[in-house]
Each structure stands twice: as C-alpha cells, then as structure tokens.
Structure 1
Amino acid sequence: MTANKPGTARGDIFVAPFSADQMVGQTGALINDNSGDPVWFRPLPSTNLQNADFKVQTYYDAREGREQPVMTWWQGTLALPPWYTNLPAGAPEPGGCYYLYDTHYRLLKTVFAHHGYYPDEHEFTLTPKGTALFLASKPVPMDLTPYGGPKNGSILNSEVQEVDLATGRLLYSWSALDHLDPADSEVSASSASSSDGVWDAFHLNSIDEGPGDQLLISARNMWAIYDISKSSGRIRYQIGGKKSDFTFGPNADFYWQHDARFRPGNRISMFDDGCCDLPDGAPEQQSHGLILSLDFDHRKATAAKTYYHEPPLYSPTQGNTQALSNGNEFIGWGQSPYYSEYAGAGNTQGNGLKNLLYDAKLPGSNISYRAFRNEWIGTPYYPPSAAVRADGRGSVVYASWNGSTQTRAWQVLAGSSPDSLTVVVGHAPRSGFETAVTTTATGPYFQVRAVDASGRVLKESKVVRRPS
C-alpha cells in the first residue's frame, strides 16, 4: 500500500494475481482490505492455472424470482510463453470455465462456452434477465496469405455469447469474423509464426450491454470500440481504428485499449494501455484511465476525464477503469502491478498524484488482469480455524476465518478435555487475517469463537490440542 487517504469508496479490493514471469506466492482469487490484508483467498494448485475478471455481481435466479450478490470469475490456463506457444500470448487454452459463488462461498453455477469455443478470461457479465454475457474464442483455419501470413494458418476468432444461467442454453452469439475486417488489425499477420500459425487479429476484450439494443465491444488489436445493434448484429458506429466514425480531440485517442463501458450522458470509459509495440508513427503514451465524451452531431470524441499514475506506468496489456458508487474511479493497471482509486475529477499527464486517494502494488512481477473495489458481506459456511502453541507458562492461540467480513473480535475457550471448554480465557479484536491471542491458560484443549460488532457469536472453530 503506497497511499491511503480519506474519501475512498466503501468495499474491499478484488484481484486475481498471476504472473507471466516468476510468481510470488500462489495464483487464485483474492479479496484484500485497504490495509492490504487478505479477507478471502482461494489459492490454485498450480501457477500455470489462473483466475481473471474476479468481481461481485448480482445474480437473478429466474426460477426463484430473486436476486442475490455473487462472486464471479474465469478459471483456466492462458497461453503464456515459454510454457504454451500454440496460441497467441494471453489467449485462453481449452478447458476453462466461469464460476458463480454465493456469500457463503459455495459454488452456485459453472458456465461453459458453446460452438466449440473456449471460455475467455476477458469478460463475464451477469444481466438482470438471469443470463450471462461473455467472450469465447477459438482458432478458425484460414489462408492468411492475403494478409501477409501463412497459407495454412488460423485466425483467433472471438464470439460474444449469451447463455441462460438456469439451463446453460445458448441464447445469442455474435462473431467478430462475420462483422470485422482482419485487414484493419494493428497486429501483423506475420506474428502468427510465433504462435503455431494462429493470428490474433481482433482480440476482443470487453462487452457492455447498454440501453435499448446496444452492445459496446472493445477489440484491442483493432484499436477500436464498436457500438453494435444486438438484434441485427450491425455495427452502429466505430470509435478508433482504421475506419473510425469519430475524430479525436486532444488526448482522446487510444491504443490497445481495454474495458470499454457505457457511461451516462453520451460518454464511455476505458483503460487506455496506450503504449508498447506501436507501428511507426504512432506516438507512445502513458497508460491511463480515460472517459470520452461523444458528440454525435459532429462525430467527435473528446477527453472528458483522465486518470494517470505517479510514477508513470506503461502497461502493454490488460487493465480496467471502474466507476464507483461515490463518484470515484478505481483503476486496475493491468500488466503493471498496481491498483489505484481517484476522486472523480481525475488528473492529467505529469500530475498523477492529484486526486489520488488509494494506491497499492502487488509483489514482484505479480499482476491482475482487472482490479475492482466491491462491497461484499461474506459469511462462510465452514467454521473458523484455530491453532495453538505453548508460550512460556501460557499459550498463544491463533484465530482466522477465511472470507468472514463480519468478524470483529475473537474469544478463546480452554479446558482440560474437548468437552469442558466453558471458560473464556482470552479475548482480542480482530487484527488482520490471523489474530494471535495470548493467554495464561494451558488447556491443553482450545477453541475460538468469531464475534461480530454487536458481540454476537457468529461461529466457533473445531477444538484443537496444544502440542505437549
């Protein structure tokens, strides 16, 4: 944590750490509080397995007619050299899926893609209709010689898919290859030589469902954002790229962008990666959060607000810009290991500390595809954990409860047998993920109880015995 000022929005921070280099610790889905302490962690068994797009959403159960908060994320394996070179770097390998977990940390739903496509890490969004919108991808064989690639190559196509969560049935699909021209890609088809002949021409990385019939889709490798009529599949307008329907005011253009979202008042937001591997003539710019104002009468996009970091960051991939309920903006810096919160007015290049309220850095080369601040009340179905060791003439008892957001203090019980734990021998406020409570009791049997802000016991641990 490098900055923590008053005025941040309510909620904890949701990240899914992984690394394309040397992983520090474990990959998985991680909730942190503002101090950087973990609230909940679900580690994965291998650093070659990743989570992404980890966040809180609202799940509408059409069968029961009710809504509930859930955590959702993608889980799978990414094509990260040198381990995988059969697909373009960052593409999902076969075998991934999406998960929905309830507030008790129980699995509710597992969602898969259709048409032989692979579930994609870039987007998984629940809708108020009880459906899920997500991106899925797979290589489609194609003669790439017209584009400067191999004859027996493939194009990595992306589909927008929508499934009914109750049944898993596919309700809607939209194929990039049917509507976008690969010739407009900013990535050369010759790059397929490093990924087993597969060309990542489009690289769709976000979907947002807007008012009426609209979908907003970001295609990173086209440098373009598309507003699409969902019913017809027709592109209503394009922002950026080689066939942009909009011109740009100062600081409004973008490259390699992620996370395009509708905003009120003819505005859209995104994370502008803005750097790295740019064609000749394209000026490199710092990565930043960007909100564009769209003038439809004059077809011009202007920069309404920007969010820069200090020190300056240059993220080749990933990232997101999240609107918070109090008007702040939360930025996940993608391939740079930071996440930050700013007051809504933002800042300008060279002035990255202005309106900065919160900033934190993941260890080593760890990164998170996106980062979110979400409000979440977790009440685990499983009990707290306890451990104990001798300490001079007394004992130290350690208490933790992975995922509990309501625990404010711990009680320690001790006794001469597992059935005689009736005396509270220690009490301490929760202090981080694991709390150490010192007591003069020798047990040898101990148990901990989690207590909420009103003093109510939430749940108790299993009984543990102090080593002799």
Structure 2
Amino acid sequence: MSRTAGACALAAGLAVANCALPAAASGPTGPRLCATEPAPPTGSPPAPELVTSGSGVWSFVSEPRLHPMRVTVTAQRPGTAPGRIFVAPYTIDSPMIGQTGALISDNAGEPFWFRPLPSTSLQNADFKVQTYYDSRKHTAEPVLTWWQGSIAIPPAYTNLPGGAPEPGGCYYIYDSHYRLVRTVFARHGFHPDEHEFILTRRGTALFIATKPVPMDLRPYGGPKDGAILDSEVQEVDLATGELVFSWDILDHVDPADSEVAASDASSSGGVWDAYHMNSIDEGPDGELLISARNMWAVYDISRRNGRIRWQLGGKKSNFSFGPNADFFWQHDARFRPGSRISMFDDGCCSQPDGTPEQQSHGLILHLDFPRRRATVEKTYYHAPPLFSASQGNTQALPNGNQFIGWGQNSYYSEYAYPGNSENNGLQSLLYDAKMPGSDISYRAFRNRWTGRPYYPPSAAARRRHGHSVVYASWNGSTETRAWQLLAGPDPRSASVVVAHAPRTGFETALTTANPGPYFQVRALDAQGRVLGTSTVVKLTG
C-alpha cells in the first residue's frame, strides 16, 4: 500500500482532506473506505453532544486530534489474563464523553491506540483481534476487525427499530501496522449488521446482515403496510468477494414466536424487529449457533441443509431449564467444550406478560442432550447489580477467566472461572472499569496484540518555565519502552541526544535545558533499539 493510501486508511472516519485512494483500491474486493459519514437522520434531534475536555477525556499535546474517553478502574487484583482491552465507545444518550471510535487500552485505562470517528452518529462495534487467513497466499496474521456505520438510536433514527444498522455500514480489517487490508459488504440487498463479524480458517468472513422486508403485519397485530426486519447469516470469500453461504431466519423461524409485539412497529417506521439476531458461532462439526434476542432463543443450525437441529429457550424450546438457567434478551451465544454454551443474559427490560426482570450476568450452561435439559454451570454477576436493556458479551480467556462487557451499562469486568452468584458480584472479581458518563460499548474484549505502526511517532515542543519540553507519542505502538530526544539549532542538525525517558503512558514529556529550537524524538524498544523517528518539530509557546 502506498503511503498516501495508508494515510487515508488511518484517517478513515476522520475529517482529513485530500485523501484519495488509487483506483485499484476501490474494486469490489479491494480495501476501500466506507461508512465515513453517518447515515442521514430520520428524526429531528441532533447528534449527541461531543465533550472533548474535562476529567472524563484524554487530551494530548502531540496528538491534538485524539480525545478518547478516560475510564475509571474500580478494581484490579492479581490473576488477570494477559492482553489489552478492546472497546468501541459510543452513547445512546447525550453527551458523548470523548470521541466515538475504536480504543485499545491497558489495565490502568491508558490508551495504546485510538481511531476516532468524525460524528457521534457514527459508531464502531465488535472491535477485536482475529486471525486473517489469506487463502491465496496461504498465510495467517493477527488483525483488527470492526463494524462501522450508524446504529438506529431513537429519536434521531426512527425509520428502523432501535439497535438496527442503518444502510451504508461495512466491516473493516486492519493489519498489525494499522493499514487497511479489506472492507467487507453484505449481499442480497442486505445491510452489514454491527452484531457479528467472524473471520474463519477458510479465508472467509461470517456475519449478520439485515434488511426490512415488506409484509402485512395484521396477522401478528401490526400494521397492514408494515415490514419485518429480516436477518441473514452470510459468508463471503475474502479473496474473491463471492457469497459462499447464507441462511435467512425468516425462512426457518416463525415470527409469531417473538417476545416483541408487532404493534411496536408503529414507533420504528412500520418495521417490526421480531428476531434481532445478534450473534453467530461455529461449532466443532461446522454447525452454527445463532442467538435471536427478541425470540429469547438460541438455535443450532446445520450448515449442510439449513435446518434447526435444536432450539434452546423461547416458545418452542427443545430443552427444559434447571434453576436460574432460563434467560431473556440474551446476547453473544458461544459454543464451549463439553456440551456447554455461554452467553450474556441481559435478563432485562420491558418484560412481556409480567415476566420478572433479573440481573444481567454472564452465563455458562451445560446442555444434557439425552434428557434435553439445560442447567447452570457458572454465573458472573456485577457489584453493584446491573440491569442491561441491551448488548453485552461473555468472553472466554485462555487462562480460564471470563471477560464481561456489560452492554448498555458503562462497565467491563474480568472474573476468575469459579464465578459468583446473584448479589455476590465481588466474588471472583479480578478487574472492573467504568466508562465516563453514559458511554457504552456493544462488546468488550481482552486480546493479545502487537502493534507496529507504519507511520512515524508524533512530537510537539513547548517552552515551559525556562525549559524545553517535548511531548512524544506513537498511536498504536505496543513495543515502545522509552524515548530519546534530539535537538539542534536548525531542522537539519537536530541530531544531538539531549534527553532520555521511559515511556510513561500514551504521551511522555521529555524536559531539557537545550534551547533547540528544533527537536526530534526516537521511540526505543526494551533493548534500546530505535523503532521509529518523528519528524522534526520547532519549539513554540
């Protein structure tokens, strides 16, 4: 990729002018920028207010365009799994504290990489590390992936049910140098959905796609000229862009079994969100595990013939439930070894028919197939108790810990495997952090990641109390351990080493009595080797 194309890839979602990708990068399977502007609003309220200063926001002298949210770490104990934390902050209420976008941080809440978006009506979701298998080159490499677009959040968007993706979204794949590898789009006239994007060992991507399908909803208690929000599992070959598999829930699941009344369509442009498919997982035999939130059900699907092999939960469950094993409005259903599955049980809110709400929690179930009975193996509750109306995930970590994203609540947590019980949320808790204000993240993950930016470090020099202070940062570098400061009387002679300092966070301040006025910084690794060098900057202020 050329330097210009790379800069544009980095700037996707930023208000950067003169970024034009070469024609070869705009083909049907090439890496082209997408969803860089929010979908046009259908309601009257403006986008949520953006707050870029104050105690809840990071600000940097060397990277003045970056204003990520600042989290509060409320618990940190020994035993957490290795890796950094991946979230995609946004809000459904005004204001937004810090920019929306994709954020990698450490246990202390210090940012490592932040990619901001230009509007609070533009969001990222499902931001995580995956392995990209290139079927043509026969290679595998760690990558960053996420969905980008606008989520229908009333009252700004009233054309679709809340939580649905607006048209125009897409999926991004970035390599470890933060260069754009692929953007992925849906087929069959569907729109890429924020809920799931999985890279497979086959060199394909599995994801959820949605679209409104016109339908007479009167048999279900809705309007005559209505529509149903259909969801389809799609699998696309990343090398060719070809659709290699699809499964449409409307062809297999009766919308009459929904826990959401069809009359709710009156508040969302006549579109009924009967299913709200929100996760896909692949099993060891190639079968698919699909969660449909508004059905209160999880389905095991045969890839060979598309048939539902079994259903857990909902009005036609093939399983009975042991104590506390039932779930409502669930997210993130995953296969686990040994006839187990996990999920995030929202358990809340707007329960129909007087069903009592329950605390949101991470949930691992054991499925007894001969008896067709589901029982609780482990649960993970929060202290204080949380009731999440939407979103959330339960991630299995390599050391057995569980990482919980609390969805519509502004927390993420890590627990030792034994877990806890209701109203005992501090047991097994190893880590807990709270996002500022009403900031939330659809999911939260802990992943190992090594970032080696293709672009240089950043620097800014300021006069402070008779000294020269140079601020150094390198957005995305996970290997920088120290900084070296060079100075000189003109841009070409800024070559004398005048200071050295260990990395102290996203941005490190290096102080020197040398007047410069020209300075340059070098990023050093743990062995003192130079990883990257900034441009020369001039002292100001």
**TM-score if structure 2 supplies the norm length?**
0.86
State the match for 2:99 in structure 1: 26
Is 1:434 the counterpart of 2:516? The answer is: no
> What's the % identity of the aligned pairs?
74
Structure 2 counterpart of 1:240, from 313, 319, 325: 313
State the match for 2:84 in structure 1: 12
Amino acid of the structure 1 residue aligned with 2:169: G
Query: Could you tell me whether the CA contact under 8 Å between 1:340 and 1:359 is conserved in 2?
Result: yes
Query: Could you tell me whether the CA contact under 8 Å between 1:158 and 1:204 is conserved in 2?
Result: yes
User: How many Å separate the matches in 1 of 2:395 and 2:337?
Assistant: 14
Structure 2 counterpart of 1:177, from 250, 266, 273: 250
Higher strand share: 1
Shift of 1:281: 3.1
Classify the secondary structure of the residue corresponding to 1:115: coil
Show the 5 A alignment for 1:389-400. Answer: 389-400=462-473
Classify the secondary structure of the residue corresponding to 2:97: coil
Classify the secondary structure of the residue corresponding to 2:354: coil
State the match for 1:384 in structure 2: 457
Shift of 1:34: 0.6
Structure 2 counterpart of 1:459, from 523, 529, 532: 532
Could you report, residue by residue, the CA deviation over 1:112-156 in whole angstroms, capped at 9, with x for unpaired residues? Answer: 000000000000000000000000000000000000000110000
Shift of 1:235: 0.3
Classify the secondary structure of the residue corresponding to 1:2: strand
Show the 5 A alignment for 1:288-303. Answer: 288-303=361-376
Query: Could you tell me whether the CA contact under 8 Å between 1:393 and 1:442 is conserved in 2?
Result: no
Amino acid of the structure 1 residue aligned with 2:223: P
Classify the secondary structure of the residue corresponding to 2:246: strand
State the match for 2:294 in structure 1: 221
Shift of 1:424: 1.1
Amino acid of the structure 1 residue aligned with 2:174: Y
Query: Could you tell me whether the CA contact under 8 Å between 1:16 and 1:29 is conserved in 2?
Result: yes
Query: Could you tell me whether the CA contact under 8 Å between 1:19 and 1:365 is conserved in 2?
Result: yes
**TM-score if structure 1 supplies the norm length?**
0.99
Could you report, residue by residue, the CA deviation over 1:411-448 in whole angstroms, capped at 9, with x for unpaired residues? Answer: 11101111112211111111111111111111000001
Is 1:357 the counterpart of 2:430? The answer is: yes
Amino acid of the structure 2 residue aligned with 1:444: P
Query: Could you tell me whether the CA contact under 8 Å between 1:396 and 1:436 is conserved in 2?
Result: yes
User: How many Å separate the matches in 2 of 1:459 and 1:84?
Assistant: 44
Shift of 1:393: 2.7
User: How many Å separate the matches in 1 of 2:540 and 2:91?
Assistant: 38
Could you report, residue by residue, the CA deviation over 1:292-349 in whole angstroms, capped at 9, with x for unpaired residues? Answer: 0000010000000000000000000000000000110000000001000000111111
User: How many Å separate the matches in 1 of 2:289 and 2:540?
Assistant: 60
Classify the secondary structure of the residue corresponding to 1:370: strand
State the match for 1:159 in structure 2: 232
Could you report, residue by residue, the CA deviation over 1:354-389 in whole angstroms, capped at 9, with x for unpaired residues? Answer: 010000011100000000000000000000000011
State the match for 2:179 in structure 1: 106
Classify the secondary structure of the residue corresponding to 2:353: coil
User: How many Å separate the matches in 1 of 2:224 and 2:208?
Assistant: 27
User: How many Å separate the matches in 1 of 2:286 and 2:305?
Assistant: 9
State the match for 1:86 in structure 2: 159
Structure 2 counterpart of 1:58, from 122, 127, 131: 131
Structure 1 counterpart of 2:387, from 275, 294, 314: 314
Is 1:43 the counterpart of 2:116? The answer is: yes
State the match for 1:286 in structure 2: 359
Runs of at least 4 residues off by over 3 Å: none
Shift of 1:194: 0.1
Shift of 1:282: 1.1
User: How many Å separate the matches in 1 of 2:528 and 2:431?
Assistant: 31
Shift of 1:207: 0.2
Amino acid of the structure 2 residue aligned with 1:16: A
User: How many Å separate the matches in 2 of 1:238 and 1:416?
Assistant: 73
Classify the secondary structure of the residue corresponding to 1:431: coil
Classify the secondary structure of the residue corresponding to 2:347: coil
User: How many Å separate the matches in 2 of 1:174 and 1:139?
Assistant: 16
Aligned-residue RMSD, C-alpha: 0.7
Shift of 1:467: 1.8
Is 1:212 the counterpart of 2:285? The answer is: yes
Is 1:2 the counterpart of 2:74? The answer is: yes
Could you report, residue by residue, the CA deviation over 1:39-91 in whole angstroms, capped at 9, with x for unpaired residues? Answer: 00000000000000000000000110010000000000111111110000110
Query: Could you tell me whether the CA contact under 8 Å between 1:406 and 1:452 is conserved in 2?
Result: yes
State the match for 1:304 in structure 2: 377
User: How many Å separate the matches in 2 of 1:360 and 1:434?
Assistant: 21
State the match for 1:447 in structure 2: 520
User: How many Å separate the matches in 1 of 2:321 and 2:510?
Assistant: 60
Is 1:146 the counterpart of 2:219? The answer is: yes
Classify the secondary structure of the residue corresponding to 1:20: coil
Could you report, residue by residue, the CA deviation over 1:187-235 in whole angstroms, capped at 9, with x for unpaired residues? Answer: 0000000001000000000000111131000000000000010110000
Classify the secondary structure of the residue corresponding to 2:232: strand
User: How many Å separate the matches in 1 of 2:92 and 2:279?
Assistant: 21
User: How many Å separate the matches in 1 of 2:136 and 2:92?
Assistant: 41
Structure 2 gap segments, 5+ residues each: 1-72
Amino acid of the structure 1 residue aligned with 2:439: N
User: How many Å separate the matches in 2 of 1:83 and 1:378?
Assistant: 36
Is 1:264 the counterpart of 2:327? The answer is: no
User: How many Å separate the matches in 1 of 2:382 and 2:306?
Assistant: 37
User: How many Å separate the matches in 2 of 1:388 and 1:262?
Assistant: 52
State the match for 2:50 in structure 1: none
